[in-house]
Structure formats: structure tokens, C-alpha cells
Homo-oligomer: A and B are copies of this chain.
Amino acid sequence: MTDSRTLARRIAETMLRGEGTGPSWGVRIEDADVGYSKISMTVSDVMLNSHKIAHGGHIFALADTAFAYACNSRNQATVAQSASIVFTSPVQNGERLEAEAREIAVMGRSGVYSITVRGNDGRVVAQFQGQSRTVGGAIVEE
């Protein structure tokens, strides 16, 4: 466990505690590192669309949350500029989803990240690509 990895974990935990969203969705941090995060969430009634499967907006929101932890992991405040998502499999009520974010590249203040969301059985349910922009300011005190 390196210092930068410890810092990344502390940043993710600080962000999650400070959010309205993550705690209300039951988001848990499974892992965090520089340019990396893995988080989980269990789909509940209030996350279903009218077809009684998980709303795509909630699957996106989970991926976007993993993206946020990964792109802020160097302790410089960073925001999402754009993102795209492909939905590959419906998600049932009660399924535990896991979103894993990996950094593809950072060039100056811009970054690009790839996030894969998997269901209970490990199948890919969505693939997300996000573009970040560093706006500056620290997330936690070092």
C-alpha cells in the first residue's frame, strides 16, 4: 500500500461522505487507487423504471460516481465534462452492481476514463466513457 493509494482511498471516502447521492443510494467503496476506483450498490425499488428493471439513469449515476472518485484521486478537484454509456444487459431489482473505473489518459487538465459496470453474475451491464477536467483545489488536506 503506497502513500498515493492511501490518499486515493481517503479522497474517495471523503467525497462519498460529503455527497447527498452516494449515501442515499447505498454506495460502498470496494477499492481506490490513483486513477482507479471500484464501488458497489444494490438495486432497490426506487431505482426501477416502469419496466421494473434498473433505470438506465441509475446505472449511469453509479458509473459516474466511480468516475468521480478515480479522476479526483490525485487530490485536485476535477469534474465531468462529458460521458457516454452503452447499456448491454437489463439489471434486476436486488442485484448488486459493481462499477470499476480506470484511467486511460491524462493530458494537462483533461482526462479520459473507462468504467465497466457488472451485475451479480459478473456480466457486463454497461460500459461508460468519461471525460474530465481539472478545476483545481484540494479534496482533502495532505
Residues of A within 8 A of B (CB): 14-21, 24, 44-52, 55-58, 60-65, 68, 77, 79-90, 104-105, 107, 110, 112, 114, 116, 123-124, 127, 129, 131, 139
Contact = CB atoms under 8 A, between A and B. Distances in A.
A80 B105 contact: no
A65 B48 CA distance: 12
Contact of A114 (B19, B49, B114, B123): B114
14 contacts: A20-B55, A21-B46, A21-B48, A24-B46, A56-B61, A57-B57, A57-B58, A57-B60, A60-B83, A79-B87, A89-B107, A104-B124, A105-B123, A114-B127
A49 B104 CA distance: 23
A90 B83 CA distance: 15
A82 B81 contact: yes
A31 B79 CA distance: 32
Chain A binding surface SS class: mixed
Contacts of A80: 56, 87
Nearest to A52: B18
B83 A85 contact: yes
A142 to B, nearest CB: 17
A43 to B, nearest CB: 9
Contacts of A15: 49-50
B129 A129 contact: yes
